Amino acid sequence: MSAIRLIAVDELRLMARNRVAVIALALLVLLTIAAVVSSWAHQRGVAELRARHQSAAEEAFDAQPDRHPHRVVHYGTFIYRPLGPLAAFDPGVDAFTGNSMFLEGHRQNTVNFGDVRQSSLLVRFGQLTPAFVLQIVAPLLLIFLGYGVLARETERGTLRLLLLQGVSRRQIVLGKLSALGAVALLAGLPAMVGFVLIAGQPDALAAPMAVIAIGYAAYLALWTVVIVLFSTWAKRSRDALLSLVAVWAIMAVLVPRLAPDIASAATPLQNRFQTDVSIAEELRRTGDSHNPEDPHFAAFKQSVLDRYGVARVEDLPVNYKGVLALEGERMTAALFDRYAEASHAAQTRQNALVRAAGMFSPTIAVRDLSMAAAGTDFDGHRRFLEQAEAYRYALVQRLNHLQAEVVSFADDTAKDAGADRRKRIEAENWREMPDFAFRPSSGSELAASAMPGLLMVLAWLAAANLLLVAAARRLGGR
């Protein structure tokens, strides 16, 4: 024990004497603090802005005058994706997804105005968040602080002296490992302090936060082990440095960029143009509302007449135009759902492929677990999209119901000068429409979705430890 401790303390003393190492560590700490502060301020700002826009949109909707319900279907409403508290730690895909969505009848619009299209080119350099600092920057810093821990001793021959003094190989490696581990702890600490501050927010969830903390601790531990491992293998400091930088560049920068390219080539997505054209075509095939002799709509009309036991639409107790609008919306929404489902499934397959690349890059694994636990990954976005579509459909159908039940068929088809006034229904109806409320995932759901990533990071850590045990046995051998 004392030998391990001596070696660790000695290594730390050496690092402390190395001015550059101290400056580098100080830089990392400063960077983390800057990341925590700016990311938090950004998240708060964005959350407030979206809440403000949301209430402005809701007010505008409620303030509509007397209108024909179908006008309101096209007036539509805007909804904004709210941002959870953990987005301050890891905003994930938020800047890329857009945050405002226009909901209207017969159309499924895209989510627009993402930061990525509203910012300068700098946005593609990465976003300064605590997650980014821990995933990318901290490992590189640890490499430059630790690549020499054993390679230096081997190169200078001091390793031999240590061994001659009766210190075991295991003790040497453990000593160096604990020294670098202490530095890693120091490097990760500010981010975790920031994390705890974020946790002070009202609706932060405990389970995903715990997963994130464990995940990053394991990730930094992994890098510590890998660095010591390479330093054990290398005969010269320079070899250790170059190979570690190569490993870092591959794992933290290269594979995370390469895997998406492979994934998008493996599973191409249908673009919006193709989707819109296909939906229009399918819709025409099921039932063409513009064709007066269309069999689907003729059968539909007959079924409505039969249900009410009348012979003409004019005799129906409900407004047939509203009934038709209900049927039309049902048909388009079913298609929207099917196409959206297919697109989401394709994107999920792409993401699964990237996730599998976590076998080659622990950075991918930790990024996945981090985004999943923060609820800022694709699944979180998909959840928003699905709830938005469900809300859109319910809203439009409520309005179509109003048209069917409150506006009379005679008024609705009238073309005289006063018809416009008679078609309108009371503004009170708009205020009764429920507002959109995003239901975020529960804490246990988030934690569960982060499990695959966490397990992968832990598997990496276990594998690296096994390799280190094997390498330590041969330390100093020729």
Partner 1 sequence: MSLWSHELRLLLRARLSVVALILLSALTLAAVLAGLAEVSRQRDAIAAIPAAQAKDIGAVAAWIDVDKDAGSAAYYSFHPTWDAPSPLAFAAIGMRDVSPYILRVRALGLEAQLYDGDVFNPELALPGRFDFAFVLVFLVPLFVIALFHDLISSEREAGRLRTLDALPSGGRRLFVRRATLRLGLLWVALAAPFAIGALLSIAPLLAVFAVLIVTALYLIFWIGVALLVSLLRWSSVANAATLAAAWLVLVLVLPTLAHVAINRAIPVNQGAEIALAQRDAVNRAWDIPREDTMRRFYANHPEWADAPPLGVAFHYKWYLAFHQNGDESVAEAVLAYRTGLERRDAAARSLGWVLPSVGVQAVLTRLAETDLEAQLAYQDRIRAFHERLRAFYYGYLFRDRAFGKADFDRAPRFNDEP
Tokens 């210190």: give the residue: 167
H or E element, residue 348: helix 320-356
The DSSP letter of residue 268 is: P
Which is closer to partner 1, CB of 288 or CB of 405? 288
Nearest-approach distance from CB 237 to partner 1, in angstroms: 7
Minimum Å distance from CB 39 to partner 1?
A: 9
Residue 360: count of CB within 10 angstroms of its CB:
16
From the CB of 60, what's the least distance to partner 1, in Å?
A: 6
Residue spans of alpha helices (H) in 357-423? 362-374, 378-406, 409-413, 419-423
The least CB distance from residue 133 to partner 1, in Å, is 9
In angstroms, give the least distance from the CB of 389 to partner 1.
15
Q: Which residues contact 307 (CB under 8 A, 6 or more apart)?
A: none
| Beta carbon of residue 433, minimum distance to partner 1 (angstroms, whole number) | 16
Distance CA 418, CA 98 (A): 43
Radius of gyration of the chain (CA): 30
For residue 181, give every residue at least 6 positions away whose Cβ sits within 8 Å of its Cβ, in sequence order, or none: 221, 224
CA distance 129 to 132: 5
In the complex, minimum distance from the CB of residue 112 to partner 1, in angstroms, rounded to a whole number: 5
Phi and psi torsions of 112, nearest 5°: -115, 175
Q: Which two tokens stand for residue 170?
A: 């295991």
**Dist. CA 396–CA 339, nearest whole Å:** 19
| Residues 372/449, Cβ–Cβ less than 8 Å | yes
The distance of closest approach from Cβ of residue 462 to partner 1 in the complex, given in angstroms and rounded to an integer, is: 26
Distances (CA, A) of 454 to 79, 369, 460: 33, 6, 10
Output 65 or 166, the one with its CB closest to partner 1: 65
Place of tokens 């609706």: 203
Tell me how far CA of residue 408 lies from CA of 17, 280, 323, 396, in angstroms.
87, 30, 12, 18
